[in-house]
Structure 1
Amino acid sequence: MASWEKPEPFSKTLVQFWMAKVSEWSEATSPSAQLDACRHQEKLRGFLQEVLGALRLAKTMCHLVAADEEGWSVMKHVGLPSKEYNVSTLKKMMCLLTEAVNGGCSSFRSPTERCLCDGLHSLSLTCVPLVTRPEAAPLIGALLRRSVTCAHTQLSEEFVEAVCSGFLDKKLHLDVQTVVALWCHNLSSLERAVLRLVSFVLSGPRIDLQTLDKQVNASLLPQACAQRCSVFLVVNEIFRCTLLEMEESSVLRLLIQSFTRCFLRALAAQDPEDRLALKSFFPLVPVSLQMPMLTLPSEVPQDVWLEHLMGISAQLQLASAEAEERGDNTSGSVFEVWFLLLQGGGWVDVAAQLLASAQTHAASSSSSSSSESKSRALLWLLTFFYHPTNRGHQRIQQWECVQQVWGDLRGVCLSPTPPPPRALDTVAESLLSRVSSRLALRLLLSLAVFSPVPGDAIALQLIRKMSEKKREEDEKEEEEEAVSLRREAECLLAAAAEHRLNSDTLASARVQARLRTLEDTLWNALCV
């Protein structure tokens, strides 16, 4: 009987044990069988009392949650509605059970003493029908938190599944500590929560970053990740794997950026003595890159943006060059710094804004060489964001193509006179053949929104020509590409509207007017 000393209450093995014993005792009349029955009598009595108690607790709970207002109730004779009485009684019962769970652990007493948490399996199973009841939330939290702090606590799979489903379906409201306990107890529930959020955002309508942040915060993922580094590492890995499967999804990129933004805010809201350092959450990225790329643009004065981006660009170029020297430019080292740049994607948006808005000033400035050097650094940063790896060892050739395309775009978009149609056709063909369509779209929209001279009309013409030329090559495939480009453009415009922090009132009004024009005409430009 040594193996029975600490069984799981009401487990299949334990029930089978007692059923076999009872069967053996009923058929045997030998003195040894009678002696065995006497030895186990007290343990059998204790087991049956636990079963009876659990059954009483379960029939009581079923009665209290029943919504039969017209049913028979003793309380009708004293003038108290049965539903009101049931709810009041259920609250009191939940309170008593919660107190028992919170104070019932004895795992730190004697190694040979049975821990009182062994009985929580049956209690969790009893609570399955109650998980969506608001009165049960304190007990659910106590059970889940106990499962994390005591190794003897084994909650039923049915209970964990019911809590996970109720939370994901928004039929159950839990505080952050309880959600953290749920996800630490059951990693599959954490994975389901992340993938549910991804699926919800990807299938949603047009992107609005403020709404996206609300959806992300409502999932409680950022808050839980700020409290538990282990939860963050799991969530980050899920996002990383999903991104590798859907690397062209601009909406997924915005979701990852929104999650990171909300996580950083939740982390900053913690007490300094309880807050972990960033290197704990991003162990694979050099510390010198973590703070610059994860500091939100809104937290940096606008007149320091350019200097801040110069530092990021220089460090990324250095990291990329060192990776090339080691011959691992396509391995994890470059990917990790690129993924961090994606997570703090607000700086990519700012780089595109500064690159577009600085062009006219660069041409007229006495320090044109310095301005051109800064523009090259910003352009390199954008190029790295869309082409992080040196595939086929074509980085130098690729960089030359991007610079040529950028020069062509500036020539037609910033021209004081409308360019001829043939020039636009040439630039559109160059955009399609020499750089990725997403990088081309980023450069086009940045010029259309932020350039000091009107360029939105030219940008829309180029986008339309790009869409038409791709559709001519393969109608079915490129129809999907056109929709993908429209989605990419919507995300870029949403980011531009969110991250534009321009103190110049006239410039701000001009940018807002251009954003509205581009948003109103974008669908026709890509789908006509």
Structure 2
Amino acid sequence: MRAPGTRYYREPTLARHRVEVRGRSVPCCRCKTARRGLGMAQVAPDGVLSLQCWLNKAAEWGQKTTLESQQDVCLHLPQLQDFLLQIYESLKHMRTHSAMERFPGIGQLLGRLCWNPFVVAHEGNRSALMSCLCCLYNSDPCSPLELKANSWIQDSICHLFTASGPGHQEVWKAVNQLGCSTVDYHGKLLKNTIISLVSKLKGCHSLDGNSNNRLSPQDVREISIKCIPIQTMPDVYPLVEALLMYHSSEPEEVLDELFIETVNRSVMRKKIVLSESAVLSLWLRHLPSLEKAVLDLFQRLIAVQSKSMSEMEHIIKDSFLPQASCHPSIFMIVDGILRKALLETDGNLKVTTIIRLFTRRFIQVYEKDNVQARYPLRAFFPHNSLAMVMALLRESQGLKPNISLQHLHGIIQKLREVDCDERSHKNLFNSWYLLIHFGDWVDVAAEQLLMSKTEISEDLLWLLAFYYNPCNDNQERIKTMDAAREVHDRMAMIRRNAVVCAVTLRGVFEEKKECNFGTTQLLRHLLVTFLLYSSEWHRVARDCISQMTQTQEAANEVSDVLARTVCRLNNKGMKNEKITKIALELLHNL
């Protein structure tokens, strides 16, 4: 947080204040006492002694309303400002708890000063008081005491926010005479102040209007600092939005960084309600805030169980990131973080599911309003051909089996062209990563492969092997295709024999235990798909799944396939109630 400005009017110092006694000019006795107290403060490195002196002074000022007392307040304003700035320099490097331990009574002092009209009327002291209060504000209160302290700080800053001008104390008297409570008065005054500042911030972007009423970049920065402790108050929302939407010609960011970080934290934790345009502006102007929002979303999704895909969808939808990703710059950052997570986890199943669900929600938002001007899809997927993106973008549900199979062959042809003609790890990865975004087509391919009564499709085998083994080092993909082909043939034989037995299915899988990790994942995928789409096997499906999920890893993989199936088929108007029901039952048992 920035220290408040120092361009303040300096009143005469204590040494210059003298009175006439018996014809001689001598220092005022009150000034002698004050100087003695301030002199003690110079000996104390931590400011404790001077804090006690000022606390006594503030208590004395609050008990008297005489002209002499008022003059005494005005006389001490420069020294008080220096003291508050020194305290601020210490507070800004400390946590709230540590500050209260090192400076006992600091809250009492600031509270008394905030409600002294002469102190508040002095611009330098008012600004210094705000800075000190901002330091004491706890953005993550963990106890009722901290919550209560935050509430008091917010009230005090709202009061300081609206208190200005040397005649402010006269306004208090008028308010009391009218019978209006100071709480009501300051609440209405705060709203009017917010309206005025919002109008000035918006006026900074217009060419016409009175330039004298416009705010300078320095003014805007100071306003953002003052908003830090009160940004979660509903009355302040319009000002926060106006600040986020404010743009100047300055080469550096005008808004205070702590203000941006605090607002971003409040947005992520749903402590503040802002418009979509304001949140988008926040993330576009401050990359670290966007990265924190993406990482926060990712961590929350990882913590959700694999079978709770509806909960994951809700978390993604509620994050506002899919909506913000309709801006290509936001999408590229989000997608880049997900890409890095996929690489670092070596294609982790949970990460691929997160990518798939996020993409699905993003596409829903992107296509929601066809009238609204939007960026072309090539801006979101610059590393892939537009034809491939459009092919994968087509909705898989609702298509007749023959049309779905035909479309799959078109997708596979485009992917194989990249695999053969542009053989490089970068191109292969980009194609594979794009396929993960639209992974529903992989599940459709598994269904088509197992349910087809015609000769086995090599294209479908290749797509499944490519998805689970994108790199073909040491001919791993060919081995994966051979293993999948053998399992397919065994499934076809089992179906023809019409013998329903869980032990038989377990034998099919146990024969392939020595396969690599990707191949094992594919085989589990095929077995679960076979159980779901073979109605005669539904009565032993539970036993089969139990035998397949003896380890946590296997349970997670099977849960993911089942949850993906439910998520994809659970659409209104689709005739998949039976498959969805058995998948939900199996998920519940897991």
Identify the residue that residue 35 of structure 1 maps to in structure 2: none
What is the alpha-carbon distance in structure 1 between the residues aligned to residue 502 and residue 304 of structure 2?
40
Identify the residue that residue 444 of structure 1 maps to in structure 2: 527
What is the alpha-carbon distance in structure 2 between the residues aligned to residue 138 and residue 299 of structure 1?
45
Identify the residue that residue 381 of structure 2 maps to in structure 1: 282
Identify the residue that residue 491 of structure 1 maps to in structure 2: 560
The 8 Å contact of residues 107 and 150 in structure 1, kept in 2 or not, is answered as: no
Alignment of 1:365-376 (within 5 A): 368-369=454-455, 372-373=456-457, 376=458
Aligned partner of residue 330 in structure 2, secondary structure: helix
TM-score, normalisation: structure 2? 0.66
| CA-CA distance at 1:380 after TM superposition | 2.2
| CA-CA distance at 1:85 after TM superposition | 3.9
Alpha-carbon distance change, 172 to 503 in structure 1, aligned in 2, over 3 angstroms: closer
| CA-CA distance at 1:206 after TM superposition | 5.2
What is the alpha-carbon distance in structure 2 between the residues aligned to residue 438 and residue 409 of structure 1?
17
TM-score, normalisation: structure 1? 0.73
Please, which of 481, 500, 520 is the counterpart of residue 399 of structure 1? 481
Identify the residue that residue 337 of structure 1 maps to in structure 2: 431
Identify the residue that residue 331 of structure 2 maps to in structure 1: 232
Which protein is bigger by CA-based radius of gyration? Answer: 2
Aligned partner of residue 297 in structure 1, secondary structure: coil
| CA-CA distance at 1:429 after TM superposition | 2.4
The 8 Å contact of residues 117 and 152 in structure 1, kept in 2 or not, is answered as: no
Aligned partner of residue 172 in structure 1, secondary structure: coil
Q: Does 1:158 align with 2:258?
A: yes
Q: Which moved more, 1:253-262 or 1:242-251?
A: 242-251
Higher helix fraction (1 or 2): 1
What is the alpha-carbon distance in structure 2 between the residues aligned to residue 411 and residue 243 of structure 1?
37
User: Which deviations, in whole Å up to 9, do the C-alpha atoms of 1:224-283 show, x marking residues without a partner?
Assistant: 110x21111011000101111224533322221121111112222345562111111110
Identify the residue that residue 263 of structure 1 maps to in structure 2: 362
The 8 Å contact of residues 413 and 458 in structure 1, kept in 2 or not, is answered as: no
Amino acid corresponding to residue 174 of structure 1 in structure 2: L
Identify the residue that residue 222 of structure 2 maps to in structure 1: 122
Please, which of 280, 293, 297 is the counterpart of residue 396 of structure 2? 297
Identify the residue that residue 252 of structure 1 maps to in structure 2: 351
Query: What CA RMSD, in Å, does the superposition of the two structures yield over aligned residues?
Result: 3.8
Alignment of 1:112-511 (within 5 A): 116-147=216-247, 151=251, 153-205=253-305, 207-226=307-326, 228-270=327-369, 272=371, 274-298=373-397, 304-324=403-423, 328=424, 331-358=425-452, 362=453, 368-369=454-455, 372-373=456-457, 376-412=458-494, 415-418=497-500, 421=503, 424=505, 426-434=507-515, 436-451=519-534, 453-456=535-538, 461=543, 463-468=545-550, 482-500=551-569, 508-511=576-579
Identity, in percent, stands at 25
What runs of 5+ residues in structure 2 fail to find an aligned partner?
17-120, 134-152, 160-171
Q: Which moved more, 1:143-152 or 1:195-204?
A: 143-152
What is the alpha-carbon distance in structure 2 between the residues aligned to residue 323 and residue 278 of structure 1?
22
Amino acid corresponding to residue 229 of structure 2 in structure 1: P
The 8 Å contact of residues 183 and 189 in structure 1, kept in 2 or not, is answered as: yes
Alpha-carbon distance change, 319 to 260 in structure 1, aligned in 2, over 3 angstroms: same
Paired positions, count: 443
The 8 Å contact of residues 264 and 289 in structure 2, kept in 1 or not, is answered as: yes
Alpha-carbon distance change, 390 to 50 in structure 1, aligned in 2, over 3 angstroms: farther
The one of the two structures with greater contact order (alpha-carbon pairs below 8 A, sep at least 6) is 1
Alpha-carbon distance change, 279 to 248 in structure 1, aligned in 2, over 3 angstroms: closer
Alpha-carbon distance change, 18 to 77 in structure 1, aligned in 2, over 3 angstroms: closer
What is the alpha-carbon distance in structure 1 between the residues aligned to residue 571 and residue 488 of structure 2?
24
| CA-CA distance at 1:167 after TM superposition | 1.3
Aligned partner of residue 579 in structure 2, secondary structure: helix
Alpha-carbon distance change, 216 to 242 in structure 1, aligned in 2, over 3 angstroms: same
Amino acid corresponding to residue 490 of structure 1 in structure 2: S
Please, which of 516, 519, 527 is the counterpart of residue 587 of structure 2? 519
Alignment of 1:4-15 (within 5 A): 15=6
Alpha-carbon distance change, 439 to 355 in structure 1, aligned in 2, over 3 angstroms: same
Alpha-carbon distance change, 424 to 259 in structure 1, aligned in 2, over 3 angstroms: closer
Aligned partner of residue 513 in structure 2, secondary structure: helix
What runs of 5+ residues in structure 1 fail to find an aligned partner?
1-8, 27-47, 67-72, 363-367, 469-481, 524-528
The 8 Å contact of residues 280 and 324 in structure 2, kept in 1 or not, is answered as: yes
